[in-house]
Amino acid sequence: MIVDSHVRLIKLDRSFLFDLFRFALYFFHCAFGYYYMKGLHRNGKEAPVKNLKRLIVPVLFWIVIYTLLNIYNEVLSGNLSMMDFLKHQCIALFISGTGFHLWFMASLMIYVVLAGFLYQNGQLKKLYPASIVLYLIGLLGSYYDFIGNRIPLLSAFFSSYYFTTWCRLFLHGLPMFTMGLYIAQNDQKLMQIDNGRLCISCAALAALSFAEIYLVVRYADNRTNICSLFLCLFTFPFFILLLKNPLQEQSGIARALKYISTFMYYSHPLFRTVLASAFMRLFGFDLSDLLMSIVVVILCTVFGYALYRLNNRYLNKICS
C-alpha cells in the first residue's frame, strides 16, 4: 500500500486505489499509538526517551541517504541551485520528509513527545476529544471539503499552501495515533466484544468505505483526500479483531515480514529512483507503473529478507 502511494500499481482507477491504499497510514498510526501506550504503562517516564532513541537512529540514516539522492537529482542535474535546495531541505528535514515519505517518522516523534508529556501530567484523556475535533476538521478539508469550503475561516486554512502537511500531521495522524492510545487503555473491555460483532462491523464499514471513496473520486474535486470518515471508523473494529485473534504459531514468519515491511518502507523510493535512472540510461525508456511497482516490491523483499537473515545488530537498527 505504501509503495503504491509513490509507484502507482495500475493506471486504471488509480485514484480509487490511491485513496483506498491510504488505509496503511490509518493502521500504522493506530498500531504505533497502541504499542506506545503499552510502553508508557510498562516503562513510565522512560518510554518517550526509549521510543525517540529507537526512531531517531534509522531516521537520521535515511535522511542522509535521501538528502544525497536529492542533491544528485535536483542540484547536480541543474534543476535547483544549492541555496534553493537548502531552503527546501530545511522544511523537508523537519516536516515533509526528505524522501517524500519520512514525514511519517517525524509525525511519530511529535506524538511520542506530546502523549508522553500529557501522560506524565495526568492530562492524556484530554487528547481524546481534541483528536475527534481535529479529525472532523480534517474531514471538512479533504473528503467533505464541499462543506468545509463554505465556512470562511476554515476555507482560508484549507486553501493554504501547507494545509496538506498540517492535515497529515495533526488532522489525520494524531487522531489515528490517539485511537491506538484509547484501544490500549481500554483493551480489557474491548476484548470482550465477540468476533461476530466485530466481523459484521468490519464488513459494514468496509462497504461504506468503498462507497465513500468511489463517490469522492467519481464526483468530488478535492484538493487533498487524506481524511476518510469510514476508513477511520473501519480501523477501530479491525484493529481490535486482529488483537483478539493473534496467529501465535506464525510468530517466526511475522518477525521476518515485520523486518521486510519496515525495510521496504524506508528503502522503496531509493530502489524506485535507481531503477528509473538505470532503465533510462541503459535502454532509453522508463518502466511502466505496474512493472516498476512489482520490481520495487520484489527487490525490497529480497534485500529485506537477506538483511533479516544476516541479523547484524547495526543494520537492524537502521533497517527494522
Is 3 a domain residue? Answer: no
Of the pLDDT bands very low, low, confident and very high (cuts 50, 70, 90), residue 169 is confident
Per-residue confidence (pLDDT) for residue 300, from 0 to 100: 92
Q: Distance between CA 130 and CA 142 in Å, rounded?
A: 18
Q: Are residues 70 and 143 in the same domain?
A: yes
Residue 316 reports pLDDT greater than 70: yes
Q: For a pLDDT cut of 70, what percent of the chain falls above it? A: 92
Does residue 175 or residue 44 have the better pLDDT?
175
**Mind listing the pLDDT tens digit for each residue in 83-101?**
777 777 776 665 555 555 6
* Dihedral, CA of residue 270, residue 275, residue 277 and residue 283, to nearest 10: 180
Q: Is residue 274 part of a domain?
A: yes
- Is residue 264 situated within a structural domain? yes
Q: Return the pLDDT at 178.
A: 96
pLDDT at residue 123 tops 60: yes
User: Side chain identity at 268, as an amino acid letter?
Assistant: H
- Domain for residue 2, yes or no? no
Task: Say if residue 41's pLDDT is above 80.
Answer: yes
141 with 222, same domain: the answer is yes
Higher pLDDT, 287 or 167: 167
Model pTM score:
0.86
- DSSP-based three-state secondary structure for 317: helix
Tell me, what's the pLDDT at 81?
A: 76
Residues 42 and 187 placed together within one structural domain of the fold: yes
H or E stretch at 157: helix 152-158
- Check residues 163 and 105 and name the one with the higher pLDDT: 163
Give the residue with greater pLDDT, 9 vs 123: 123
Examine the domain organization and report whether 152 and 87 are in the same domain: yes
What is the predicted pLDDT for the residue at 285?
76
Give the chain's domain count.
2
**Boundary residue ending a domain (195, 229, 245):** 245
Instruction: Tell me the average pLDDT across 192-203.
Output: 96
pLDDT-wise least confident of 103-112, 164-173, 205-214: 103-112
Give the integer Cα–Cα distance in Å for 180 and 186.
Answer: 10
For 259-282, b/e burial (b = at least 16 CB within 10 A) is bbbbbbbbbbbbbbbebeeebeee
Q: Which domain holds residue 262?
A: 251-320
Residue 198 and residue 291 in one domain: no
Between CA 141 and CA 311 the distance in angstroms is: 44
Q: Is residue 73 pLDDT above 90, yes or no? A: no
Range with lowest mean pLDDT among 36-40, 69-73, 224-228, 311-315: 69-73
How confident is the model over 20-37, as pLDDT tens digits? Answer: 888 988 999 999 999 999
- Structure confidence at residue 22 (pLDDT): 85
285 and 222, same structural domain? no
* Mean confidence (pLDDT) of the chain: 85
Res 18: pLDDT:
77
Whole-number pLDDT of residue 75:
73
Amino acid at 58: P
Of 225, 245, 265, the last residue of a domain is: 245
**240 lies in the same domain as 255:** no
Q: Are residues 37 and 173 in the same domain?
A: yes
User: In the prediction, which pLDDT does 231 show?
Assistant: 94
Domain boundary among 220, 245, 270: 245
Residue with the three cell numbers 513527545:
113
pLDDT, residue 13, reads 46
Reported as a pLDDT band with limits 50, 70 and 90, residue 202 is: very high
Q: Is residue 7 one of the residues assigned to a domain?
A: no
Indicate if 229 and 312 belong to the same structural domain: no
At 123, the amino acid letter reads: Q
pLDDT for 99 equals 57
Encode pLDDT of 134-156 as tens digits. Answer: 999 999 999 998 898 899 888 88
On whether both 233 and 153 belong to a single domain, the answer is: yes
Decide if 144 is inside a domain: yes
Interval 227-282: pLDDT, tens = 899 999 999 999 999 999 888 777 788 889 989 999 998 888 888 888 888 887 77
